[in-house]
């Protein structure tokens, strides 16, 4: 009888232990998966990686273009004052490519282009680009008729020099001398712009003279041309450069 009671008691303990103890968590329901969000996250990662790759490739896609090394005045050609630089290719910008530099020399600047500028095609035009009321005059100068270091873009005064009364009567000589004195005191042109200075390497013919192109008022062009044909022009750099 006692054995049965003990056995029954043990069975009761076993049955009681089947219930969860106090404080023990109940199993949570399985989480709901959202495959659409996961796919969107993967897509965003791929798009970002692709965009970064394109930017790197575009940064490495460079072209060789023209940059001016000195100021180029309106109506002037770039000449040999150019160098090449690498820039990122952009179809929206009309860069002048380095292999187009020979053709570029045939064009004239529409306005002043400053040293260090990467040029584009819209800065140049064919033919004359002289402002209204201006004329371009060429002079050939001997040493002593121009200041050392004269260059394109300089502002100069144009004087008529060298007239002497070596021929003719004394009265004529006196008159000529007086005319020369008056001419040397006042410039033919008070302010002219140097458009071009032809250095020795620009010419295939060796010459001791320095060819210079001046931009002057149209009304003074004939006087400058007349003095230039007689070899009686001298240039003086004036303030304003």
Ordered per-residue pLDDT tens for the chain, 241 residues: 455 555 555 555 554 555 555 556 666 666 666 677 777 788 888 888 787 776 665 655 789 999 999 888 777 788 889 999 999 888 888 999 999 999 998 888 887 788 899 999 888 887 666 777 888 899 999 989 999 889 888 899 999 987 654 444 333 333 333 344 444 578 999 999 888 887 765 444 445 789 998 999 999 999 999 999 999 999 999 987 6
What pLDDT does 92 receive? 87
What pLDDT does 110 receive? 80
The ranges assigned to domains in the chain are 60-125, 134-237
Cα–Cα distances (Å) from 52 to 10, 39, 55, 60, 61, in that order, read 72, 20, 5, 13, 14
Cβ–Cβ contacts within 10 Å for residue 36, how many?
8
What pLDDT does 159 receive? 95
Please state, in angstroms and rounded to a whole number, the distance separating the CA atoms of residues 159 and 191: 11
Residues found in the chain = 241
What pLDDT does 91 receive? 85
Cβ–Cβ contacts within 10 Å for residue 77, how many?
17
**Assigned CATH for 60-125:** 3.90.1210.10
């Amino acid at each position: 009888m006692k054995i049965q009671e003990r056995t029954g008691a043990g069975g009761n303990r076993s049955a009681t232990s089947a219930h969860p103890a106090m404080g023990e968590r109940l199993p949570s329901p399985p989480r709901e998966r959202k495959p659409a969000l996961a796919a969107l996250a993967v897509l965003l990662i791929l798009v970002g990686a692709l965009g970064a790759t394109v930017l790197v490739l575009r940064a490495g896609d460079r072209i060789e273009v023209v940059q001016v090394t000195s100021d180029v005045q309106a109506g002037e050609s770039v000449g040999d004052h150019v160098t090449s630089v690498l820039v990122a290719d952009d179809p929206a910008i009309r860069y002048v490519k380095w292999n187009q530099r020979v053709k570029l020399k045939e064009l004239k600047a529409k306005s002043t282009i400053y040293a260090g500028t990467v040029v584009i095609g819209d800065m140049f035009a064919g033919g004359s680009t002289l402002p209204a009321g201006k004329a371009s005059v060429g002079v050939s100068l001997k040493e002593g008729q121009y200041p050392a270091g004269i260059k394109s873009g300089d502002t100069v005064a144009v004087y008529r020099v060298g007239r002497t009364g070596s021929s003719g009567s004394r009265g004529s000589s006196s008159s000529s001398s007086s005319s020369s004195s008056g001419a040397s005191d006042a410039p033919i042109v008070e302010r002219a712009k140097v458009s071009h200075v032809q250095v020795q390497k620009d010419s295939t013919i060796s010459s001791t003279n320095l060819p210079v192109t001046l931009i002057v008022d149209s009304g003074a062009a004939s006087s400058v041309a007349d003095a230039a044909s007689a070899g009686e022009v001298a240039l003086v750099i004036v303030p304003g450069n």
